[in-house]
């Protein structure tokens, strides 16, 4: 007799096919489709998404799922099959308790909310977005209560959507550590008034030459062109159909060389993760990176630990100078290294340096916690935001656009997402600490030998996709679960050296 799990297979395969088609259409819309295509293509996306939903959320699948968990069969499934069942169950837990009418109202709201946010940002007026945000918060909180376990903090429900293997208590103490250790360090650096000149980044760099260099750079750190494609879009992002078709976009500006270079390395980190997913699980619902935080740890490991190290540029700085000859002729390697690592409090998260970045996230974390756990008046949010910037970074936004309206996330209902960015950097530091003890790390950076690093990441993290969670993989690889002290240690050591503290 056919096992219950086997009976689920056709549903799962169809769902994967639909997901792949959707990913491909969305990629095309971001990269090559003409502007006028948007309306008609969006309706196709709507239909396919609906079809995906029906394929996986229906009475037959639900019954099979119940049967598997109740019978002995679950125990006999492989680790991968068990992970697939768990993942499927999670989708039911998320959507099933939400009444159809509420879900519909929320979908209608989020279909237009990003547009309202974008307009408010353009007009630099939070009030235009406030009522919409209020409604989004109402639904997000309501939906979270449906899934809340007894005694669980409501915000943790949302945090688990992006990083399921951390408790809120862990994340609280992570941010407490950031506040305690990094705020004074940033103050110390600011008060020292060291001038690092990075103005050369805004000289003129030919776009074709940038593109050529960035594509070469991706390959240099490990991008596999047999399994991947690099294109262009307004914002850099990575997407994947499966482990043999992983794609990323970059964005080139004539007067900003660093942006393109570090986007290239960052997105390559995301791509390498997806390219290394095991053949056995790619094209299944667990065949992608395990969490947002883990994904971000891989991109940041490549961008920061590799791409912003001095040793890395020792190996290729001459090549960079050659590429843009004579624009960088008067800039030494040391000047270049200091410029790419300069730290200075700034208002915009996406432009922040490695050291001040986690403070931007700390601010969002504290605000989200207030939003989800307290009955806060949304009209107070801009002031709360600005006060926190002043307290932690010593600067105050003068407008909503450079303050509370800068990020798109809340307009899409994404609460609990931001912490993943900072957790990602912290995980990257833990991996870095471990690797330095295991392989001749600095030597590899100089000579451009990244295979051994990649192999370690592949064997312990990449290949498992979502079959194992972040903490489990960290423990298996480094011998301990998440430990934020490596992040603080890494930042302190690096920036004390740069600023001679």
Q: How far is the CB of 271 from Zn ion (least distance, A)?
A: 11
The two structure tokens encoding residue 229: 């494609």
- Cα angle, residue 381 at apex, residues 378 and 384 outer, rounded to 5°: 150
User: Toward Zn ion, which CB reaches closer, 262 or 410?
Assistant: 262
Three-state secondary-structure class, residue 241: strand
What are the tokens at 64?
């099979």
Residue with smaller CB distance to Zn ion, 147 or 462: 462
Q: Which is nearer to Zn ion, 294 or 445 (CB)?
A: 294
- CA pseudo-torsion sign 91, 151, 159, 79: negative
DSSP letters spanning 193-227: T-----GGGGS---HHHHHHHHHHHHHHHT--TTT
Alpha-carbon distance of 453 to 223, in angstroms, equals 13
Could you give the CA distance from residue 407 to residue 419 in angstroms, rounded to a whole number? Answer: 14
Q: Cα dist. 438→62, 453, 458 in Å?
A: 46, 10, 15
- Catalytic residue chosen out of the listed positions 81, 156, 163, 267: 267
Query: Nearest residue by C-beta to Zn ion?
Result: 299
| Nearest-approach distance from CB 338 to Zn ion, in angstroms | 24
The phi, psi pair for 188, rounded to 5°, reads -60, -45
Cβ count within 10 A of residue 28: 13
Question: Across-strand partners of 247?
Answer: 229, 239
* Contacts to Zn ion by CB under 5 A: 299
In sequence order, what are the residues at sequence separation of 6 or more whose Cβ sits closer than 8 angstroms to the Cβ of residue 324? 205, 206, 209, 213, 257
What's the closest the beta carbon of residue 351 comes to Zn ion, in angstroms? 15
User: Tokens 């001040």 — which residue?
Assistant: 356
Angle among Cα 102, 107, 113 to the nearest 5 degrees reads 120
Cβ-based nearer residue to Zn ion, 237 or 324: 237
DSSP 303: I
Q: Which residue has the tokens 């239909």?
A: 47
Closest distance between Zn ion and the C-beta of residue 270, in Å?
Answer: 6
Question: What value does the CA radius of gyration of the chain take, rounded to a whole number of Å?
Answer: 23
**Identity of the residue, 251 or 396, whose beta carbon is nearer to Zn ion in the bound complex:** 251
Report how far Cα 40 is from the mean position of its chain's Cα atoms: 30
The residue (of 238 and 478) whose beta carbon lies closer to Zn ion is: 238
Q: Nearer Cβ to Zn ion, position 140 or 300?
A: 300
Q: How far apart are CA 408 and CA 336, in angstroms?
A: 32
Does residue 232 carry a catalytic annotation?
A: no
Minimum Å gap between C-beta 497 and Zn ion is 26
List the catalytic residues: 267
């Amino acid at each position: 007799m056919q096992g219950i799990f086997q009976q689920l297979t056709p549903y799962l395969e169809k769902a994967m096919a639909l997901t792949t088609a959707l990913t491909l259409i969305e990629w095309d819309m971001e990269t090559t489709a003409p502007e006028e295509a948007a309306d008609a293509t969006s309706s196709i996306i709507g239909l396919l998404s609906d079809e995906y939903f029906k394929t996986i959320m229906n009475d037959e699948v639900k019954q099979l799922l119940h049967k598997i968990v109740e019978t002995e069969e679950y125990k006999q499934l492989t680790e991968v099959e068990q992970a697939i069942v768990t993942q499927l169950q999670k989708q039911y837990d998320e959507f099933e308790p939400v009444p159809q009418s509420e879900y519909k109202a929320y979908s209608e709201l989020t279909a237009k909310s990003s547009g309202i946010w974008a307009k408010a940002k353009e007009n630099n007026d939070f009030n235009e977005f406030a009522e919409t945000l209020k409604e989004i918060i109402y639904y997000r909180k309501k939906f979270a209560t449906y899934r809340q376990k007894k005694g669980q903090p409501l915000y943790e429900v949302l945090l688990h959507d992006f990083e399921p293997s951390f408790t809120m208590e862990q994340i609280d103490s992570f941010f407490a550590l950031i506040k305690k250790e990094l705020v004074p360090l940033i103050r110390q650096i600011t008060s020292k008034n060291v001038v690092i000149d990075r103005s050369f980044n805004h000289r003129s760099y030919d776009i074709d030459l940038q593109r050529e260099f960035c594509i070469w750079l991706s390959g240099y750190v490990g991008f596999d062109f047999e399994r991947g494609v690099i294109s262009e879009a307004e914002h850099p992002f990575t997407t994947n159909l499966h482990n043999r078709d992983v794609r990323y976009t970059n964005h080139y500006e004539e007067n900003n060389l660093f942006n393109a270079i570090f986007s290239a390395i960052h997105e390559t980190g995301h791509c390498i993760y997806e390219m290394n997913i095991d053949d056995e699980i790619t094209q299944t619902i667990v065949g992608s990176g395990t969490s947002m935080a883990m994904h971000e740890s891989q991109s940041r490991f490549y961008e920061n630990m590799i791409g912003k190290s001095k040793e890395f540029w020792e190996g290729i700085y001459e090549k960079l100078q050659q590429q843009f000859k004579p624009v960088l002729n008067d800039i030494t390697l040391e000047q270049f290294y200091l410029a790419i690592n300069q730290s200075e409090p700034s208002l915009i998260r996406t432009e922040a340096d490695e050291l001040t970045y986690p403070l931007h996230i700390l601010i969002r974390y504290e605000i989200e916690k207030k939003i989800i756990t307290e009955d806060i008046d949304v009209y107070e949010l801009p002031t709360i935001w600005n006060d926190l910037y002043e307290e932690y970074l010593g600067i105050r936004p003068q407008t909503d656009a450079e303050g509370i309206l800068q990020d798109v996330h809340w307009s899409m209902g994404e609460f609990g997402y931001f912490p993943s960015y900072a957790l990602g950097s912290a995980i990257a530091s833990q991996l870095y600490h471990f690797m330095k003890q295991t392989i001749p790390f600095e030597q590899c950076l100089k000579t451009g030998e990244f295979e051994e690093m990649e192999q370690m990441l592949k064997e312990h993290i990449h290949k498992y996709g979502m079959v194992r969670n972040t903490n489990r993989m960290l423990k298996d690889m480094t011998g301990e679960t998440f430990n934020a002290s490596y992040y603080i240690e890494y930042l302190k050591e690096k920036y004390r050296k740069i600023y001679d503290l």
